[in-house]
Amino acid sequence: MERVAIGAASTALALFIGIVIVAMAGFNPLRFSAQLVIGAFGSERGIARTLRFTTLLTLAGVAVAIAFRAGVFNIGVQGQFVMGGIACVMSIVWTAPYLPTGMIGGVLLLFIGTVASIVSGGLYGALPGALKAYAGANEIITTIMLNFIAIGFVGWLVSGRFRGEGATSVRTERLPEHVSLPRIVFDDPNLSIVGLAVALVVVALVTYLMTRTNVGYDMVTSGNQAAAARYSGVNAKRTTVVTMTLSGMVAGLTGAVFAVMIQGYFTDPAGIGRYGFDAIAVSLLAANNPIGVVPAALLFGALDSAGSHIQIASDVPVQLIDGIIGLVVLFVAAPELFRMAAIRWDRGGEDE
């Protein structure tokens, strides 16, 4: 209840300050507030757009929450997302000629692409985990640097060797027409309820893993009570690698959902969005609870959807809209960051 109160108060205060700034800039704050609601939930198109952002932010937020809940700071979800997305697309493009077309072939290709994305994201997450566990490297620094490496490397591949034949923009070949998620409930080319269902299933599986299994217990204990974990025989180094691998696997899956559900190909990762970075604020708002990630992702998805709508339907500059979203991120993240820092400081004092 405390986390819910902090999250609600932080969001409301950030929105209030944002609306005051809009008014001071000379724009109608009431119209702006109405456009926020309309853009997020005022039409079928707006709801579909909100759910699209929510789907990706839920998966990416769970990826962050896995690591944070285990006391490891995975700031590299964006890079793992990119590696998973490109692995999904290219594995489908390369194997499609050898499989039948139609529904059966499409399902097989989706399975191949999903496995490739999970493995790729997991391996890219395991790398900073191994560096932290066995070389003492700071995972915050390594994961941030690996984000830039993934974005630069995949951008180089997409603009060169992996570029689609005859493509007029920097992107891979398009996925075959029979490789797609069904468009049901919402007639939107960039949303499938199947993608949202996948996100909710992942939330349920990760929640069960973290709260009902020995692996999850070891992850949380080694991260938050290292001394107790060592006393009970937990291998802290191996657990760190497992934690980062699992976090990267979910991030890689996020990239696959993005590539299949939204793009149908993979483009220069420098312009695909900041889902991995926004997911950090989503996880913090949810107190790193996988279940809490869902409403937190819905909030940020609604803000992103409203921002897209306002850019078209009003004369409010996009810089103000981005500033308001930034205020929400700041107000939401700050209380939890201070809380986590205090806990870590106290734990360090106890160890000494």
Measured between alpha carbons, how far is 251 from 326 in angstroms, rounded to an integer? 23
Closest CA to 25 of 309, 316, 307, 314: 316
Name the residue with higher pLDDT: 333 or 160.
Answer: 160
Structure token digits, residue 152 = 């630069």
Contacts of 283 (CB under 8 A, 6+ apart): 61, 62, 64, 65, 68, 293, 296
251-272 average pLDDT score? 95
pLDDT at 352: 42
Measured between alpha carbons, how far is 88 from 114 in angstroms, rounded to an integer? 6
pLDDT at 338: 59
Domain 2-351 -> CATH class: mainly alpha
Name the residue with higher pLDDT: 256 or 39.
Answer: 256
Is residue 178 within 8 Å of residue 106, measured between CB atoms? Answer: yes
In which band, very low, low, confident or very high, does the pLDDT at 35 lie, cut at 50, 70 and 90? confident
Asked whether residue 327 carries a pLDDT value surpassing 50, the answer given is: yes
Query: What pTM value is reported for the model?
Result: 0.91
Contacts of 206 (CB under 8 A, 6+ apart): 62, 65, 66, 250, 290
The region of weakest confidence among 159-163, 214-218, 229-233, 295-299 is 229-233
DSSP reduced 3-state for 247: helix
Tell me which residue has tokens 């499989």. Answer: 99
DSSP state of 25: T
Is residue 114 within 8 Å of residue 256, measured between CB atoms? Answer: yes
Is residue 109 within 8 Å of residue 179, measured between CB atoms? Answer: yes
DSSP state of 187: -
Average pLDDT along the chain: 89
Is residue 11 within 8 Å of residue 331, measured between CB atoms? Answer: yes
Is residue 116 within 8 Å of residue 87, measured between CB atoms? Answer: yes
132-159 residue pLDDT tens: 999 999 999 999 999 999 999 999 999 9
Is residue 50 within 8 Å of residue 305, measured between CB atoms? Answer: yes
Q: Which helix (H) or strand (E) holds 26?
A: none
Please enumerate, as own/partner, the contacts of 345-348 that have beta carbons within 8 Å and a separation of 24 or more.
347/224, 347/225, 347/226
pLDDT at 335: 63
Dihedral pair phi/psi, residue 147, rounded to 5°: -60, -50
Length of the chain: 352
Is residue 282 within 8 Å of residue 61, measured between CB atoms? Answer: yes
The region of weakest confidence among 3-7, 106-110, 233-237, 265-269 is 3-7
Is residue 252 within 8 Å of residue 124, measured between CB atoms? Answer: yes
Closest CA to 172 of 160, 186, 184: 160
